[in-house]
Homo-oligomer: A and B are copies of this chain.
Amino acid sequence: MTSKPTIILDPHARRMDEIFSPADRKRLYQMAHVIGGSDEPMPQAEFEAALPDAEAVICWDWRYGNDLLRKAPKLRAIFSVEGGFPIGLDYAYCYANTIRVLSVAPSFARQVAEMCVGMALACSREIVLGDLKMRRGDEEYLHAGNTSTFMLYGQPVGIIGYGGIAHALHPLLRPFDVEVSAYDPWLGDGYLRRLGVKPKSLEALLAESRVIFVLAAPTVENRAFLGHPELAHIQQGAVMVLMSRAHVVDFDALTEYVVAGRFKLATDVFPTEPLAADHPLRSAEGAVLSAHRAGSVKEGLWEIGEMVVDDLEMVLRGFPPRRCLNAEPELSQRYATIVVDRGDDE
């Protein structure tokens, strides 16, 4: 018998040693009586049996059924290690019963933000194209190799979707003395201004920025909101860095612009993954292509476990979690509409 609080641990699509460092795993087991903790998905019966005593559930999604929420009287927190918020969860019940729903999304912010910087420079300074030319043997040296490059320093930079990644990205951009503007209809202008960010309309941002970071989460409302007419506002020779989801862009229009040399593109995401073998971007000189790798660096994954254990400790002590992202009641309906894009959402 144990006096430690009981928790359920069913990381499902993630392996235990992938998300927990040995130290964090040890902290976790010292802090709680852990049911589960296997690399295999937990059988539903085992889950149901453990639920009445569980004070927290660490899971991937909420595939167990909303009815079960009623059978978890001690439940104080649901941690999803997937990265988003569980689709289809009965958030209203959770709010009404003070069950925190928590996402490890912040664990990805720094690695994606640093990839944003790398991708932007790879494009603006033609690091990828320059390397490609050296492999082909048609490189040009010195000024001859810089006819279409530009410095990031001092450029007007626009960020579309000013969430966690943008918050991590901004400090990385600041020493380049860039002027940062943002478009984010989920946020207020006053909030952005206080962060030192200039709020802009989508059109103004696209037209006035030399580097554009697209970081907006995909929802049913924002499918392809960056369409042909919007993309037309982008400056000749500008750089777009697409990091959230292909869903938010009219990808065919985008491809057309990039292949035509209107602007440059660095993208980590594609409408289908793998990208079609004959997709024209695969040979476009104005593109930098990355196979959805911005948020999957190994050491970054251990931040998931660290974050979960840190916040589990707070929750079990009766305090608010501080490191995971909290599901907000106003957004719960919107979370439900976030498109799950695992390489095949279109």
Residues of A within 8 A of B (CB): 95-96, 98, 110-111, 114-115, 117-119, 121-122, 125-128, 130-135, 137, 139-143, 145-147, 149-153, 171-172, 174-177, 186-191, 194, 196, 273-275, 277, 282-283, 288-293, 296-301, 306-307, 309-311, 313-315, 318-320, 322-323, 328-331, 343
State whether A114 and B153 are in contact (beta carbons under 8 Å apart), knowing that A135-B289, A146-B297, A322-B191 are contacts in the complex. Answer: yes
Q: Is the CB of B293 within 8 A of A130?
A: yes
State whether A143 and B322 are in contact (beta carbons under 8 Å apart), knowing that A117-B121, A125-B118 are contacts in the complex. Answer: no
Would you mind naming 15 contact pairs between A and B with Cβ atoms under 8 Å apart? Answer: A115-B125, A117-B118, A117-B121, A131-B288, A133-B291, A134-B289, A139-B291, A141-B291, A141-B292, A146-B297, A150-B299, A151-B297, A171-B175, A175-B175, A319-B331
Residues of B within 8 A of A283 (CB): 135
Minimum CB–CB distance from A147 to chain B (whole Å) comes to 8
State whether A297 and B330 are in contact (beta carbons under 8 Å apart), knowing that A127-B290, A131-B289, A319-B186 are contacts in the complex. Answer: no
Q: Is the CB of A122 within 8 A of B128?
A: yes
Name the residue among A127, A194, A318, A319 with the largest chain B CB count within 10 angstroms.
Answer: A127
Q: Is the CB of B310 within 8 A of A127?
A: no
Alpha-carbon gap, A282 to B300, bound state (A): 31
Q: Is the CB of A122 within 8 A of B115?
A: no
Residues of B within 8 A of A96 (CB): 95-96
Residues of B within 8 A of A292 (CB): 141-142, 145
State whether A98 and B329 are in contact (beta carbons under 8 Å apart), knowing that A130-B293, A132-B135, A151-B297 are contacts in the complex. Answer: yes
Name the residue among A146, A282, A283, A306 with the largest chain B CB count within 10 angstroms.
Answer: A146
State whether A122 and B127 are in contact (beta carbons under 8 Å apart), knowing that A149-B293, A283-B135 are contacts in the complex. Answer: yes
Nearest chain-B residue to A111 (Cβ)?
A: B151
Q: Is the CB of A130 within 8 A of B291?
A: yes
